[in-house]
């Protein structure tokens, strides 16, 4: 609805229930869809354009919420109108109130037919890092075809002895990387994250499941807490050391994360010389570089060390900085296996 709020049914006019409800429903703000090139700042700008118009609409909605609607006899109908007006107002309250963001992530490579994953990101509230799609996961996902014919060819090539490989993504977040792996590698992938992140992860799995299965892959999502007791973990992870490939992107934010991630890799990477862990870490600052160094040190220690076989740097961008359109970074990534001392 693009007409002036002054032309909407006004409470002083005592409009019929049906007219007022129809107006409120037309004012609905649907979750917009962006592609990966749209930075967070652009997303917010697109969603929050026409500030003066938005203020007028918000003021109009406020008149309905604050009105007794006394000319409407049915109390249930009053509740419907108040609830609709409240929803419309919340949709105009910035990133945390806009409902959700949906992005489409395209994949194009000569090695496979092009496809697109649709990823929902719920409102960003608190410290829910797993509700964001981080740029490094897309960068690593775009390398999956090359990885399959290179360092993981012994597991994923057509001449590999196994027809299916167990793959685990640790800290899946919105699920972009793990779902891309299932589609590109045509294999089963277990997606995992903290219990409060899993509902959105399961939602994204459901949205993309048909596409992934049509391409020969499969996905399952369940809760997995690194370094935990296992009480809250899903049945997918009841058995230890069952995954031939472990994927993880952008996992290090706090001082305790290297030890927790190391324990998760040790717990779930198969005790097999063929098994591999693929880790990507954006090098945002000195703190992140130190966390990566600590992770490598911890993995290399103990009775069953996990060592880096090869490593590389790739450009990527962060677009969740409040003050920047996008931040160009280098992403370090490495391939790990048990019992090796190379790299």
- Asked if residue 119 lies in contact with residue 178, where contact means CB atoms within 8 angstroms, the answer is no
- Asked if residue 83 lies in contact with residue 24, where contact means CB atoms within 8 angstroms, the answer is no
Question: How confident is the model at residue 51, as a pLDDT?
Answer: 60
pTM of the model: 0.74
CA 77 to mean position of chain CA atoms: 38
Strands 33-34 and 306-318, by their bridges, are: unpaired
The predicted-structure confidence for 247-258, as pLDDT tens digits, reads as follows 999 999 899 999
Task: Give the chain's residues under pLDDT 70.
Answer: 1-2, 30-52, 93-100, 124-128, 158-164, 229, 318-327, 340-343
> Tokens 């399952």 label which residue?
220
CA 301 to mean position of chain CA atoms: 32
- Would you mind telling me the total number of residues written for the chain in this entry? 343
The Cα–Cα gap between 255 and 16 comes to 60
Query: What residues does each domain of the chain span?
Result: 5-90, 101-338
* Chain mean pLDDT for the chain: 86
- Asked if residue 174 lies in contact with residue 120, where contact means CB atoms within 8 angstroms, the answer is yes
Question: How confident is the model at residue 42, as a pLDDT?
Answer: 63
Q: Starting at the edge strand that comes first in sequence, how are the strands of the sheet with 306-318 ordered?
A: 218-223, 188-193, 167-169, 245-249, 276-282, 327-338, 306-318
Tokens of 121: 């990101």
Q: What is the CATH number of domain 101-338?
A: 3.40.50.150
- Asked if residue 191 lies in contact with residue 204, where contact means CB atoms within 8 angstroms, the answer is no
Question: How confident is the model at residue 34, as a pLDDT?
Answer: 55
């Amino acid at each position: 609805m693009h007409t002036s709020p002054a032309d909407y049914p006004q409470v002083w006019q005592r409009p019929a229930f049906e007219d007022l409800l129809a107006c409120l429903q037309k004012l609905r703000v649907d979750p917009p869809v962006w592609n990966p090139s749209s930075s967070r700042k652009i997303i917010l700008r697109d969603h929050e354009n026409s500030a003066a118009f938005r203020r007028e609409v918000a003021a109009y909605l406020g008149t309905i919420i604050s009105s007794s609607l006394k000319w409407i006899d049915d109390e249930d109908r009053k509740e419907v109108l108040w609830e609709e007006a409240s929803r419309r107002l919340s949709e105009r309250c910035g990133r945390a109130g806009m409902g959700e963001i949906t992005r489409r992530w395209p994949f194009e490579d000569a090695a496979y037919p092009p496809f697109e994953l649709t990823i929902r990101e719920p409102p960003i509230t608190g410290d829910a890092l797993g509700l964001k799609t981080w740029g490094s996961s897309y960068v690593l996902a775009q390398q999956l075809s090359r990885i399959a014919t290179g360092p993981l060819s012994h597991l994923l090539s057509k001449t590999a002895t196994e027809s299916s490989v167990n793959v685990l993504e640790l800290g899946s977040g919105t699920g972009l990387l793990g779902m891309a792996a299932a589609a590109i590698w045509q294999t089963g992938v277990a997606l995992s994250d903290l219990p409060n992140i899993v509902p959105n992860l399961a939602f994204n799995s459901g949205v993309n499941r048909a596409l992934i299965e049509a391409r020969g892959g499969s996905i399952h999502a369940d809760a997995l807490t690194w370094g935990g007791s296992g009480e809250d973990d899903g049945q997918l992870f009841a058995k230890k050391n069952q995954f031939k490939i472990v994927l993880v992107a952008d996992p290090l934010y706090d001082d305790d994360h290297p030890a927790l991630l190391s324990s998760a890799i040790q717990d779930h990477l198969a005790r097999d010389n063929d098994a591999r862990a693929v880790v990507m870490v954006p090098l945002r600052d000195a703190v992140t570089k130190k966390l990566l160094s600590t992770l490598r040190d911890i993995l290399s220690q103990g009775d069953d060390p996990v060592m880096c076989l090869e490593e590389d740097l790739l450009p990527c961008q962060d677009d969740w900085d409040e003050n920047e359109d996008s931040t160009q970074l280098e992403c370090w990534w490495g391939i790990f296996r048990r019992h090796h001392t190379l790299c």
